[in-house]
Structure 1
Amino acid sequence: MNYIALAQTEKLRLAVGGLSHGHVGWVLSSMDRGDYEIVGIAESNRELAEKYANQFGFSMSLVYDDLAEMLEKTNPEAIAAFGNTFDHLKIVQEAAPRGIHVMVEKPLAVSLAHAREMEALAIKHGIHLLTNYETSWYPTNHRAKEILESGEFGEAVKIIVRDGHRGPKKIGVGPEFLDWLTDPKLNGGGALMDFGCYGANLMTWLTAGERPISVTAITQQLQPENNPKVEDDATIIVNYPDKQLIIQASWNWPIGRKDMEIYAEKGVIYADNRNQLRTRLAEGYDGFQEQVYNLPELPPPYPDPFLMLKAVVRRELELQNFDLYSLENNLLVMEILEAAKESAEKGKTVYFD
């Protein structure tokens, strides 16, 4: 992506749509750093709003029960969605006709139908619609892509992406977050949606938007006592003409993880976590030369989604095609997730047109 560093600009007028997402503390805790100001918050749960107001020191005068009223009265440039995923569509329905740009937490939507309606509104009204993933600003993922594109390891043949943790209830997420994260309507599913989206997003970026041939998925419910309404484990095989993606999305990992392995013709690239990357260049049958990297954080506007949002809105940065944040990337992500849900439900492979 091309980032043009400009002189100090006015703060981004930012609204917040919902407070029930467990990551909302990030936007609330960073209000005083100078690049954006929160002009309004839409949240109907007054008790939840008051809890955060006391914790982060903002005035309850910022909080509106009604999303449309908040947008009309506060006139933000952009809104960051921090409610349930089902409400992403409603936020775009209200924001887009007012020319307000939108950033949602991953995934883009609960369904492909919602995603396509959001796309149509964004295009019609000329707004940016971004999707934020934690792994978008992992320096290891960006270095892995650079190494792969250098050609030293040859073409990728198999990519494995693993994401997840012990499960929302086991890691102690707040009740307002748990209520919708384990609800098939409000989250679109369970672990398949929550963590399956990462692998689809990364693969679409690595392949510059290549469409799969087919998707095969198996889901399980290994913690029925904690996740009674949704699956908590998913294995998704995404086939391409000359490569394969395996997504392992789970609320049953004993240790939280977000990692990627790229198996290429001449070696392997391991993005072990945010900052640690290893490469193994093959030698003979089972030998290899290993290099280990401890990578520094990426430069601005990474690794900060709100700085990224501001840069895009202010035209300081133009997203590349199928960028991790981009709408076209995340529409294909939704196609893959929708196919995975259908495959798991019907017990058969789903083929793309």
Structure 2
Amino acid sequence: MNPVKTIQRLWLLFLLQIPFALMAQHPVRLAVAGITHGHSDWIYNRKLRGDIEIAGIYETNADRVQEFRKRYQLPENLFYTNLEQLLDKVKPEGVMAFGPVNEHIAVVRACAPRKINVMVEKPLATTYKDAQEIADLAKRYGIKVLTDFETSWYASNQYVRNSYKEGRLGQLRKVMINDGHEGPWAMNRHFVSWLTDPVKNGGGALMDFGCYGANLMTWLMEGQRPLSVTAVTHQNRPDRYPKVEDEATIILQYPEAQCVIQASWSWSFSRKDMEVYGTKGYAIAADPVKIRTRMQGASSEVSQTLEPRSAPFNDPFAVFANVIRGTLKLEPDDVYELPVNVTVVEILDAARTSAKSGKTIYLKPRPALVQAGNVGNN
């Protein structure tokens, strides 16, 4: 072959690759729907990676807007008080919802017809009805709707699930999940105002922290729904939380396993941990990286410290950006995905009813609304 022509062809191939390289480096354009959630500061406190660009922020709370602008030195024209106007003008690739949980449905209603992907802070919705509608909209318009949980970033939880899936724990028999802290009464006032509202948050500690356990257990069970849900709630501090519970215990019963979820706003310290007991051994995720295990045949318990989860799984915004770009495909029953999180809200809805009625709630069979792989784009 003529060496000149060979060089020309190689040069042409190189030039053709440049747009793809630039596209890969171009940040994903995201918008934010609501900044009253205490976790909304994560957006600007994360390390600068050049992977995302915040193109607009929707918020109607003027005090919170001024507070946010001043803290992060943000221009006034970045903010909107009308969500649909923001979406039409900014045309983001994704929207992150950090407002009251009962407003997640409105965000998805606005984004889905515009083919805009959504990530919400946990839980997905306040009611099972809203969760079902979100799943239906995602399927109809071919978008992703992810739910972010802090415990999704924990290497320890991944280790426990892998141990179970690989057969080292045997069959699950008992799972204990503890999530709680001292209470939100001293947090930022904008967050507390709706976090302690039974409509905007759907409840108190049961919703705020019970959702973690429901998410992890549904994930462990690969999407299987419990047979029944039993819950007991209480107000230890009605002076602080007059409208909602600050203590909740939820029992999920499966054909051969039971899960006890303890959710609290009245503990002395913050904790998020999980104990999983099987027929061949147990694994305890003590914190994001610490694990204690004892397997069949072992004479004693083994403790180890894991490496933190690697990128992008150590950052929800990176996960969202990669899913939007198609460089990351989550498993259908991943902790972020709709099938698991619709079931989470179904469990929380049943728990709320159980606590109010004093009775065990038996879940009815449901149509295949959110079959794995059929929700959102693939």
User: When the two structures are superposed, what TM-score results if normalisation uses the length of structure 1?
Assistant: 0.94
The 3-state SS of whatever aligns with 2:199 is: helix
Residue in structure 1 matched with residue 136 of structure 2 by the alignment: 120
1:99-110 to structure 2, matched below 5 A, reads 99-110=115-126
Alignment of 1:158-177 (within 5 A): 158-169=174-185, 172-177=186-191
Which of 335, 339, 346 pairs up with 2:357?
346
2:222 to 197, 208, 212: 208
1:243-282 deviations in Å (ceiling 9; x for gaps) = 0011001111111000000011132211001111110235
RMSD, matched Cα: 1.4
Give how far 1:33 is off.
Answer: 2.7
Q: What's the CA shift for 1:224?
A: 0.4
Take 2:72 and 2:26, find their aligned partners in 1: how far apart are those partners?
Answer: 23
Partner of 1:132 in structure 2? 148
Partners of 1:132 and 1:260 lie apart in 2 by: 18
Counterparts of 1:199 and 1:68, CA distance in 2: 34
Distance in 2, Cα, partners of 1:90 & 1:154: 43
Gaps of 5+ in 1: 1-5
**Correspondence list, 1:251-330, <5 A:** 251-281=265-295, 288-330=299-341
The 3-state SS of whatever aligns with 1:180 is helix
Corresponding residue of 1:97: 113
CA distance in 2, matches of 1:48, 1:149: 44
TM-aligned CA deviation for residue 28 of structure 1: 2.2
Q: Distance in 1 between matches of 2:320 and 2:332?
A: 16
How far apart, in 1, do the equivalents of 2:68 and 2:140 lie?
Answer: 35
Decide which structure has the larger Cα Rg and report it: 2
Distance across 1 between alignment mates of 2:43 and 2:25:
19
C-alpha deviations, 1:145-204, integer Å up to 9, x for none?
A: 1112222232110000000101101xx210000000000000000000000011111111
Which of 180, 195, 208 aligns to 1:181? It is 195
Q: Amino acid of the residue matched to residue 266 of structure 1?
A: K
How many residue pairs are counted as aligned between the two chains? 343
Gaps of 5+ in 2: 1-19, 365-378
**For 1:193-204, what aligned pairs fall within 5 Å after superposition?**
193-204=207-218
| Contact 1:16/1:80 (<8 A) preserved | yes
Compute the TM-score of the two structures, normalised by the length of structure 2.
Answer: 0.88
Larger mean Cα displacement after TM superposition, 43-52 or 201-210: 43-52
SS in structure 1 at match of 2:300: strand
- Check whether the contact 1:20–1:176 (CA below 8 A) recurs between aligned residues: yes
Match of residue 37 from structure 1: 53
Report sequence identity in percent.
Answer: 46
1:75 positional shift: 0.5
Q: Return the letter of the residue paired with 1:277.
A: I
Aligned pair partner of 2:168 in 134, 141, 152: 152
Bigger CA drift: 42-51 or 136-145? Answer: 42-51
Please give the residue correspondences for 1:64-79 in structure 2 after superposition, counting only pairs within 5 Å.
64-79=80-95
* Residues 160 and 246, structure 1, Cα contact 8 Å, conserved in 2: yes
Paired residue for 2:205, among 148, 166, 191? 191
Moved more, 22-31 or 141-150: 22-31
Rounded Cα–Cα distance in structure 2 between residues aligned with 1:311 and 1:64? 26
| Secondary structure in structure 2 of the residue aligned to 1:319 | coil
Deviation at 1:31, TM superposition (A): 7.7
Question: Counterpart in 2 of 1:3?
Answer: none
Structure 2 Cα separation of the partners of residues 125 and 31 of structure 1: 33
